[in-house]
Amino acid sequence: MTIHRESKGTILVTTLFLILLNGATAYFFPENDTLRKIVIVLSMILAVIVLQFFRVPKRTTVQNPKYIIAPADGKVVVIEEVIETEYFKDARRQVSIFMSPINVHINFNPISGIIAYFKYHPGKFLVAWHPKSSTDNERTTIVTKHANGTEVLFRQVAGAMARRICWYVEVGTAVEQGKEFGFIKFGSRIDIYLPLNAKIFVKLDDKPVGGETVIAELV
């Protein structure tokens, strides 16, 4: 299993914590074999949880200029028409994918093109499914312009547990559909803003696979 490069700090802190926890248990409770075994088992479970969170899956993207590929693993929690106020300033179809702590948190480019706009917004850490998380939480706004002129906006939105948003793009960068563009640690979400005439293929509570599932088609 390949581990993501964003894992280094978290794995180091987790390892030190588990060493101290097991050392303290052995020092203060040297005669309590049952307690020490319980702590060891719990430590192994925590280590596995952290490692699986940072796993790098193998994904195969069937590229198509008309398709919008899921930018993340998770569950579809929003499909609605909204007014996008930062960039387009008009009506768009919003599709939001919530990522729980057990999901892969790598973010994938939904389309190929050139990054036309990028902005980082510091903010709050409301739970990722909160209605105001898209506008009040720490987030990034990224717009990719396809060769045919179509622009798609997507946001990385931090959640109550997500305290670090990572991105690997900047304005003018050429990106490829299905390739990694960022990472969000722990619970979070991604919002995608599409033209109103886009054909949506997912439904609420669907669980798309980042980099593979086609969530919409541009008309």
Q: Is the dihedral of CA 104, 85, 216, 145 positive or negative?
A: negative
Q: 3-state DSSP call for residue 25? A: helix
Q: 3-state DSSP call for residue 72? A: coil
Query: What six digits make up the tokens of 172?
Result: 């003018």
Active site residue 7: no
Instruction: Indicate which residue of 43, 96, 112, 188 is catalytic.
Output: 188
Contacts of residues 36-45 at CB distance under 8 Å and 24 or more positions apart, as own/partner, are: 43/18
Q: Provide DSSP, 92-124.
A: EEEEEEEE-TTS--EEE-SS-EEEEEEEEE--B
**Ramachandran sector of residue 11 (left: φ over 0; alpha: ψ -120 to 50; beta: rest):** alpha
- Compute CA distances 67 → 6, 27, 70, 219, whole Å: 29, 59, 10, 9
Distance CA 159, CA 137 (A): 7
Active site residues: 188
